[in-house]
A and B are shown apart, each in its own frame.
Chain A
Amino acid sequence: MLKINHVTKLFNANTVDEKLALSNVNLSLAPSDFVTVIGSNGAGKSTLMNVISGVLKPDDGNVIIDDVEVNKLHEYQRSQWIARVFQDPMAGTSPNMTIAENLSIAYLRGYKRTLNWGLNKKKKHFFKEQLERLGIGLENRLNAKVGLLSGGERQALSLLMATFTKPKILLLDEHTAALDPSRAELISNLTEKVVREFNLTTLMVTHNMAQAIQLGNRLIMMDKGQVIMDIPPSKKQGLTVEDLLHEFTAIKGEELNDDRVILG
Chain B
Amino acid sequence: MYMFIALEGSIELGLLYVLMALGVYISFRILDFPDLTVDGSFTTGAAVSAVMITHGYAPLLATLSGFLAGAVAGTITGLLHTKGKINNLLSGIVMMIALYSINLRIMGKPNTPLFGENTVFSVIPEDYFLVIVPVVIIILKLLVDAFLHTDIGFALRATGDNQRMIRSFGVNTDFTIILGIALSNGLVAMSGALVAQYQGFADISMGVGMIVIGLASVIIGEAIFGHKTVFRATLAVLLGAIVYRMVIALALQLNMNAEDLKLITALIVVAALILPKIQKSLGQKRKILERIREVNNKVENNGRDINA
- Which residues of A are at the interface with B, using a C-beta cutoff of 8 A? 53, 74-77, 79-80, 83-84, 86, 90-97, 101-102, 104-106, 108-111, 113-119, 161-162
Q: Which of B162-192 contact A (CB under 8 A)?
A: 162, 164-173
What is the chain A residue whose CB lies nearest that of B176? A113
Majority SS at the chain B contact face: helix
**Which of B150, B153, B166, B170 has the largest count of A CB atoms less than 10 A from its CB?**
B170
Roughly how many angstroms separate A111 CA and B167 CA in the complex, as a whole number? 13
Roughly how many angstroms separate A74 CA and B172 CA in the complex, as a whole number? 9
B152–A94 contact, CB under 8 A? Answer: no
B165–A91 contact, CB under 8 A? Answer: yes
A76-B168, A95-B161, A96-B161 are known contacts; what are 18 more A-B pairs with Cβ within 8 Å?
Answer: A53-B168, A75-B168, A76-B170, A86-B164, A93-B162, A94-B162, A95-B162, A101-B154, A102-B158, A106-B169, A108-B169, A108-B170, A113-B154, A114-B152, A116-B150, A117-B149, A117-B151, A118-B150
Roughly how many angstroms separate A161 CA and B165 CA in the complex, as a whole number? 11
Residue B57, interface by CB 8 Å: no
Contact of A114 among B149, B151, B166, B172 (CB under 8 A): B151
* Given A91-B164, A96-B161, A97-B158: A76 touches B172 (CB 8 Å cut-off): yes
Task: List, sorted by A's number, 26 A–B pairs whose CB atoms are closer than 8 Å.
Answer: A53-B168, A74-B172, A75-B167, A75-B168, A76-B173, A77-B170, A79-B169, A83-B168, A91-B162, A92-B168, A94-B161, A94-B166, A95-B161, A95-B162, A96-B157, A97-B158, A104-B151, A105-B171, A106-B169, A108-B169, A113-B151, A113-B155, A116-B151, A118-B150, A118-B151, A162-B168
B161–A118 contact, CB under 8 A? Answer: no
* Given A76-B172, A79-B169: A97 touches B150 (CB 8 Å cut-off): no
Specify which chain B residues have a CB less than 8 angstroms from the CB of A161 in the assembled complex: 169
A115–B165 contact, CB under 8 A? Answer: no
A-B contacts at CB below 8 angstroms, number:
85
What is the chain B residue whose CB lies nearest that of A88? B164
B149–A92 contact, CB under 8 A? Answer: no
A93–B165 contact, CB under 8 A? Answer: yes
Roughly how many angstroms separate A106 CA and B153 CA in the complex, as a whole number? 14
* Given A92-B165, A94-B165: A115 touches B170 (CB 8 Å cut-off): no
A110–B170 contact, CB under 8 A? Answer: yes
Residue B115, interface by CB 8 Å: no
Specify which chain A residues have a CB less than 8 angstroms from the CB of B151 in the assembled complex: 104, 108, 113-118
Q: Which of B102-157 contact A (CB under 8 A)?
A: 147, 149-155, 157
Majority SS at the chain A contact face: loop
A90 smallest CB distance to B (angstroms): 8
Q: Count contacts on B: residues with CB < 8 A to the other chain.
A: 22
B153 smallest CB distance to A (angstroms): 7
Specify which chain A residues have a CB less than 8 angstroms from the CB of B154 in the assembled complex: 97, 101, 104-105, 113, 118
Roughly how many angstroms separate A114 CA and B164 CA in the complex, as a whole number? 21
B169–A105 contact, CB under 8 A? Answer: yes
What is the chain B residue whose CB lies nearest that of A91? B164
Contact of A113 among B147, B152, B168, B173 (CB under 8 A): B152
A94–B157 contact, CB under 8 A? Answer: yes
Contact of B171 among A84, A96, A113 (CB under 8 A): A113
Specify which chain B residues have a CB less than 8 angstroms from the CB of A111 in the assembled complex: 170
Specify which chain B residues have a CB less than 8 angstroms from the CB of A76 in the assembled complex: 167-168, 170-173
Specify which chain B residues have a CB less than 8 angstroms from the CB of A110 in the assembled complex: 170
**Which of A76, A90, A114 has the largest count of B CB atoms less than 10 A from its CB?**
A76
Specify which chain A residues have a CB less than 8 angstroms from the CB of B162 in the assembled complex: 90-91, 93-95
A94–B158 contact, CB under 8 A? Answer: yes
Specify which chain B residues have a CB less than 8 angstroms from the CB of A79 in the assembled complex: 167-170
B152–A115 contact, CB under 8 A? Answer: yes
What is the chain B residue whose CB lies nearest that of A96? B161
Specify which chain A residues have a CB less than 8 angstroms from the CB of B166 in the assembled complex: 94, 105
Roughly how many angstroms separate A114 CA and B149 CA in the complex, as a whole number? 11
Roughly how many angstroms separate A83 CA and B169 CA in the complex, as a whole number? 8
The 9 closest A-B pairs by CB, nearest first: A94-B161, A113-B151, A94-B158, A79-B170, A118-B154, A115-B150, A76-B167, A94-B162, A76-B172
Roughly how many angstroms separate A75 CA and B164 CA in the complex, as a whole number? 10
Specify which chain B residues have a CB less than 8 angstroms from the CB of A86 in the assembled complex: 164
